[in-house]
Amino acid sequence: MRGPHNILRLVRTAATFERTGAMAVVLEQMDAPPALRAAARVLGWPFRWLGYKGDPALPPVTRAITALGPSYIKLGQILSTRPDFVGGELALQLRVLQDKLPPFPTFEARRMVERDLGRPVDTIFSEFSEPVAAASIAQVHQARLVEGQRKVAVKVLRPGIARAFRRDIDAFYFGARMVELLAPQTRRLRPMDVIAHFDATVQQELDLRTEAAAAGEFKANTAGDAGFAVPAVEWHLSGRAVLTLDWAEGIPMGELEAIDAAGHDRVALADRVIAMFLRHALRDGYFHADMHQGNLKVAPSGDIVALDFGIMGRLDEYTRRVYAEILMGFIRKDYRRVAEVHFEAGYVPADRDVDLFAQALRAVGEPIFGMDASRISMGRLLAYLFEVTERFGMETRTELILLQRTMVVVEGVARTLNPQMNLWTAAAPEVERYIRTNLGPRAFARDLYRTAQVLARFGPHLPQAVEQALRRPDRTVIVERGRRKRSAALWYIAGLGTAAVALVAAAAI
């Protein structure tokens, strides 16, 4: 966030948006306040000549972002997950933003492979093709191993990409701080946190060892999922700048005519795409967060093959339960329960009226469920839900926004395969299975048993700890910042009681 280059980069950014006509679109879509509009115009209009021209065939916003380069393309993709921040229409435009760029020379890729793996390319691969795909951060080559002659995909980072991203990310932080200063009402949306999330995402993508670990974890989680496959990582041929995976044969998910010609059942594929996404999100709490057609193939066996693990999403166990309860509450039209779940999770401030919130949720749910089943969108439902929670003071939760954005993308893939699909018919089995496993009496008993296991590890220390706590003079209830906190002794005694109940419950299972 230091240095004059930040100001210069923002001036060129504003100038490019002004020159391409994107500035007016962005300010309007974001409903920017007067101070922010004035600052943008001051930075952009006088220096319009400094802006990049871009491709006139593209829409203004896409044209500007593509012209500014890889960092801006990636930021645009991240902002497409934040309709609350950039507005619904602009988020939709950014969602189709492609990061396809001209490839860099193959000799550069070979040199990076040799430097990263410490071996000549010809001793590892008997074949090493020209680029078969090139994106903003890396490009992919098809290769064949010397040992075993197996085909593999070799992903190689663009030379100098880390330095270029670091420069631009500093400017993004500076810009986010300016937005917060000029438009205080945006602080609730946490612009600095948006850039921090972008920064963390990019740093993961710039170290292909992280993507290798993500692919390995995802493959292990999904090993038992019939009809779904993840390529294996060649760990000994992967490093910071190189990732080698088994080559995945198959038809890209967007090539419908080829899928039909191969005899695959598109209706079954559409249902499976939805089911697999929900299974991974709810069961594992770890899901592919970039499941567009370009990252999915249909294998000759009919399996869905996932590719590109640079953007993955995580949900902790508690959040998964909240998400499942919200979905089931809407399915059952139990809006009061949906409202209570939001309050119990702390998503909505406790000083708001739960009945008014439930009424607002009814206004979200009823119009959607009045539609034909094939037109109901879970992504639209969640988008409407976030609009309501915003009015009731819910702070932005990045993990839920990412989940909602991915749900919209997955829905788009599924409806492309089968325009008449009933989303809820495809989704209900996975949601119900999760709820049966994680929200019933047996799940409660299992949670108590886990609690007992944790407490048992501290068992030898508990008697002495309780005695020390009881001998301390501060055994009263302390009121701090309006919240009651009990003394350590009471917590220890409560823990012992919980452990006893848990052990009894576990014995009864």
Collapsed DSSP state (helix, strand, coil) of residue 127: strand
pLDDT in tens, 248-293: 999 999 899 999 999 999 999 999 999 999 999 999 999 998 888 8
Cα–Cα distance, 340 to 400 (Å, whole number) = 18
Mean pLDDT of the chain: 79
pLDDT in tens, 358-406: 898 888 777 766 555 556 666 666 666 666 776 777 766 666 767 777 8
Q: Which residue has the higher pLDDT, 292 or 89?
A: 292
pLDDT the model gives residue 509: 44
pLDDT the model gives residue 186: 66
Contacts of 410 by beta carbon, 8 Å cutoff, 6+ apart: 273, 274, 277, 291
Residue 315 DSSP one-character state: -
Residue 200 DSSP one-character state: H
pLDDT the model gives residue 264: 96
pLDDT the model gives residue 364: 75
105 burial (CB, 10 Å; 0-12 / 13-18 / 19+) is: exposed
The dihedral sign for the CA sequence 342, 347, 353, 357: negative
Residues 180, 192 contacting (CB under 8 angstroms): yes
Cα–Cα distance, 117 to 123 (Å, whole number) = 11
Residue type, 493: I
Region 32-58 average pLDDT: 74
Partnered with residue 314 across adjacent β-strands are 286
Catalytic option among 290, 303, 308, 474: 290
Contacts of 341 by beta carbon, 8 Å cutoff, 6+ apart: 322, 325, 326, 329
Of the listed ranges 77-86, 391-400, 474-483, the least confidently predicted one is 474-483
Region 67-90 average pLDDT: 74
Per the listing, tokens 């071996």 go with 119
DSSP symbols for 483-499: EEE--HHHHHHHHHHHH
Joined tokens for residue 95: 């969602």
Q: Is the pLDDT of residue 32 over 80?
A: no
Q: Is the pLDDT of residue 501 over 50?
A: no
Q: Tell me, yes or no, if the pTM score tops 0.85.
A: no
pLDDT in tens, 102-139: 889 999 999 999 999 999 999 999 999 999 988 888 99
Q: What percent of the chain has pLDDT over 70?
A: 74
Which one, of 304, 278, 277, lies nearest residue 290 by Cα? Answer: 277
Region 501-509 average pLDDT: 40
pLDDT the model gives residue 237: 96
Q: Which residue has the higher pLDDT, 394 or 152?
A: 152
List Cα–Cα distances, 114 to 162, 233, 237, 240, 241, in angstroms: 19, 18, 10, 12, 10
Residue 286 DSSP one-character state: E
pLDDT the model gives residue 507: 41
Q: Is the pLDDT of residue 239 over 90?
A: yes
Q: What percent of the chain has pLDDT over 90?
A: 27
Band of pLDDT at residue 322, cut at 50, 70 and 90: confident
pLDDT the model gives residue 309: 92
pLDDT the model gives residue 321: 85
Q: Is the pLDDT of residue 470 over 80?
A: no
Residues 365, 330 contacting (CB under 8 angstroms): yes
pLDDT the model gives residue 153: 96
Look at strands 304-306 and 228-229 and give their pairing: parallel
Cα–Cα distance, 192 to 139 (Å, whole number) = 30
pLDDT the model gives residue 1: 47
List Cα–Cα distances, 427 to 276, 383, 477, in angstroms: 9, 17, 47
Q: Is the pLDDT of residue 410 over 90?
A: no
Region 449-454 average pLDDT: 68
User: CA angle, corner 89, sides to 61 and 291, nearest 5?
Assistant: 85
Question: CB-side exposure of 467: number of CA atoms within 13 Å?
Answer: 5
Q: Which residue has the higher pLDDT, 171 or 463?
A: 171
Look at strands 478-480 and 151-157 and give their pairing: unpaired
Residue 290 known to be catalytic: yes
Q: Is the pLDDT of residue 341 over 50?
A: yes
Cα–Cα distance, 243 to 153 (Å, whole number) = 8
Cα–Cα distance, 243 to 157 (Å, whole number) = 9
Residues 501, 451 contacting (CB under 8 angstroms): no
pLDDT the model gives residue 141: 96
The 10 Å Cβ neighbour count of residue 324 is 23
Residue 461 DSSP one-character state: G
DSSP symbols for 44-84: HSTTGGGS----TTS-HHHHHHHHH-HHHHHHHHHHTT-HH
Q: Where would I find the beta strands (DSSP E) of 239-397?
A: 242-246, 251-252, 286-288, 296-298, 304-306, 312-314
pLDDT the model gives residue 44: 65
Q: Which residue has the higher pLDDT, 45 or 221?
A: 221
What is the number of residues in the chain? Answer: 509
Cα–Cα distance, 445 to 505 (Å, whole number) = 6
Band of pLDDT at residue 9, cut at 50, 70 and 90: confident
Question: CB-side exposure of 235: number of CA atoms within 13 Å?
Answer: 5
